[in-house]
Amino acid sequence: MDTYEEQKRNEKHKRMTEAPVERLILAMSVPTIISMLVSSFYNMVDSVYVGHLDNTESSAAVGIAFSIMVLIQAIGFFFGHGSGNYISRELGSKKYDEAEKMAAVGFFTPIGLGAVIAAAGLLFLTPLAKLLGATGTALPYTVDYLKYILIGTPFMMSSLVLNNQLRLQGNAQFAMIGITAGAILNIFLDPIFIFTLGMGVGGAALATIIAQFVSWLLLLIGSMQKGNIHIRFKHFKPTFERYRQITKGGLPSLCRQGLTSVAVIALNWAVKDYGDSAIAAFSIVSKITAFASSALIGFGQGFQPVCGFNYGAGLYQRVKDAFIFCIKVSTIGLIIISILGYLGAPALVALFRSEDPLLLEIGAQTLRYQCLSFPFMGVVILTNMLLQNIGKTLPASLLAMARQGLFFIPALFLLVSLLGLKGAEWAQPAADIASFLLAVPLCLLEIRELNRLTQ
């Protein structure tokens, strides 16, 4: 490593372990909030444009295929968070060589895995679409959308790895540039492919994949800049221990995102008897709430590198101070977002598709119910991030599985059996409150442990 490179890394280490944590988190969180909002916008923009086609089946198809996109994201976050959290702690301990090897393992593995998943999905494309909950009317549109998403799987997975590795090194600005550029491109490509070229819902998927590939290239270039951990194939040295560390740091993300995919499929099956309008309505609400949640997650991601560096350096008081600061700020922000979302629910759903009255009715009511429980999510998500970042895999994974798995899926089928469609509308708020009740004792236990380590 040359002198300039070493100087840059030492300067970063000093800033991460000595600057006031409140100011540091706010500085870190601005690019991560933008990155998360833009990344979430990827999932929204297709629905907005497709909603202007003259059929509800296309909107339903995007919602049905969303579960596969979430699964792709789950694997990308597994490798990205798993390798990135480890890299963050190693940089805090100034172990740069091991950080470089982990970066390579975390990046190249999902490229190969993504290629295998893409090939298998394309081989069984129609059965896969049916398994995801496609109705007979939405099936051809789902297949058309899904085939392009599967082709781009290796790049989607590995771009998420690059994004999280850069962010967890404390270089969120490079991640922001890569993600934002791809999203802007997607906005321009969607109407060209969907309307000008007449590709319909398939054009939306193709535009998304091209934009994701551009993001991947820019993120790869960003990782090669001075002061960052460089991705080189010569550092690709997979070992059991490195994959164990990836699993330790990434399993909570895999549980959270993987169960979100299962939850989307379960929701599609639970409401498919109510028609494509119901499937599309719940899909639209999930996109809106995911967009709102992305601001919280982005703020929390500004906390994670601060947490990782300082925990690795043994500065436990700074970790606790940063965590409590994030809980306070996020809860206030979520209350404001929830009030605005409740009041503006019909208008927000209408942005996606205003031509279907049944869709508007179901979507607006579902969104309002979810706004009631949204303020509790700050404690849940930030406690999960803290536990994951410091390597406490079991409680982090348990909390990660809670919202969309342990609580949502049972609540969904129980409430639907009792209340029908109204039960599906209430399932997510019920799961959110149960997750909060689980998160509170885990949060308090970790604060007590940080107090003990500080003494």
Q: Please choose, from the candidates 240, 243, 92, 73, the residue with its C-alpha nearest in 3D space to the C-alpha of residue 163.
A: 73
Q: Considering only CA atoms, which of 441, 110, 415 is closest in space to residue 253?
A: 110
Task: Quote the domain boundaries for residue 177.
Answer: 25-454
Q: How far is residue 99's CA from residue 6's CA, in Å, rounded to a whole number?
A: 14
pLDDT at 7: 76
The percent helix, strand, coil of the chain (3-state, each to 5) is: 85, 0, 15
Pair 319, 450: CB distance under 8 Å: yes
Give a yes or no: residue 242 inside a domain. Answer: yes
Name the CA dihedral angle for 133, 423, 382, 89, rounded to a multiple of 10 degrees. Answer: -30
**DSSP per-residue codes, 359-399:** HHHHHHHHHHHHHHHGGGHHHHHHHHHHHHHTT-HHHHHHH
How many distinct structural domains can be found in the chain? 1
Q: What is the pLDDT of residue 421?
A: 95
The confidence score (pLDDT) of residue 2 equals: 56
Residue numbers in the chain where pLDDT is lower than 50 = 1
Amino acid 11: pLDDT: 79
Query: What rounded mean pLDDT belongs to the chain?
Result: 89
Query: Quick check: is 379 in a domain?
Result: yes
Per-residue pLDDT at 196: 92
> CA 162 to CA 164: how far, in whole Å?
6
What are the pLDDT digits (tens) for 291-313? 888 888 888 888 988 888 888 88
Residue 168 inside a domain? The answer is: yes
**Is the separation of the CB atoms in 207 and 150 below 8 Å?**
no
Q: Note the pLDDT tens digit of each residue in 68-103.
A: 988 998 899 999 989 988 888 788 777 889 999 999
Note whether residue 203 is domain-resident. yes
Is residue 13 assigned to a domain? no
Which pLDDT value is given to residue 51? 80
CA dist., res. 277 & res. 353, Å (int): 10
Does residue 236 belong to any structural domain of this protein? yes
Tokens of 4: 């300039």
Query: Quick check: is 8 in a domain?
Result: no
Quick one: pLDDT at residue 304? Answer: 85
58 belongs to a structural domain: yes
